[in-house]
Amino acid sequence: MIELKGIRKQFGSHVVFDDIDLHLERGEIIVIVGPSGTGKSTLLRCINFLETPDAGQLTIGDLSLDATSATREQILALRRRTAFVFQNYALFANKTALQNIAEGMIVVDGIAKREAYARAREILERIGLADKADAYPAALSGGQQQRVGIGRAMAANAEVILFDEPTSSLDPQWVEEVLGLMKQLAAEHQTMIVVTHEMQFAREVADRVVFMDQGRIIEQAPPAELFSHPKDERTQQFLRKILAANVV
């Protein structure tokens, strides 16, 4: 179980969002959608303290943190329960695909190198990149780099994987291979929170779609309900624009 209560974040005098509440059950997949600049990615980064919330409480399983008093040890424990997939892949340029996946297991989890590399090879097989184990990021396509990024998240055995616009930096031809891997994880009941503009993915995979606008959660519902019968005018306007752009 994951719960956010009263989460607030501001930069200087600009309040990105305030009093955000969100609840997520184990194995549930939530997709967060909304206009650019409304705080979706910042909220995702606050969940594992890549950005420090200014107020609120976060709970993952039996671990609870208060944003204003969380200790370094609590934050590290929180990060061990989460994995983050970045827009821009965030791979180590001087490490191979195999090393990028194994690194966290060795450094963070203290797993022996031989065991970590064996596990990393298993993950490369699962994500369809077994033949790229010794390739460096510069030799990989954008889609392949992002799949390595997802493989690194898989290696963490995290309670929840946080995806921040995982296809936004990809050329169109690489989008489907990344979404396909995410669908595979969804079928395995991996708990996921996904910020994306890929509405078809939200339709097919999400248990619940959360619409954010101007730093607030406006409404949330199963995808069939939210896409077919949005209640709030702001959600209706957003979806009309998306439909007009032929995204859905």
Q: CB–CB of 33/202 below 8 Å?
A: yes
Q: CB–CB of 34/40 below 8 Å?
A: yes
Provide mean pLDDT across the span 112-141. 96
What CATH number has the domain spanning 2-244? 3.40.50.300
Q: CB–CB of 60/77 below 8 Å?
A: no
Q: CB–CB of 86/149 below 8 Å?
A: yes
CA-only gyration radius of the chain, Å: 18
pTM over 0.75: yes
- In terms of DSSP H, where are the helices of the chain? 40-47, 72-80, 97-107, 113-126, 142-155, 172-187, 199-205, 223-228, 233-244
**pLDDT attached to residue 145:** 96
- For the stretch 187-235, pLDDT in tens is 999 999 999 989 999 999 999 999 999 999 999 999 999 999 999 999 9
Of the candidates 153, 159, 163, 171, the one whose C-alpha atom is nearest the C-alpha of residue 33 is 163
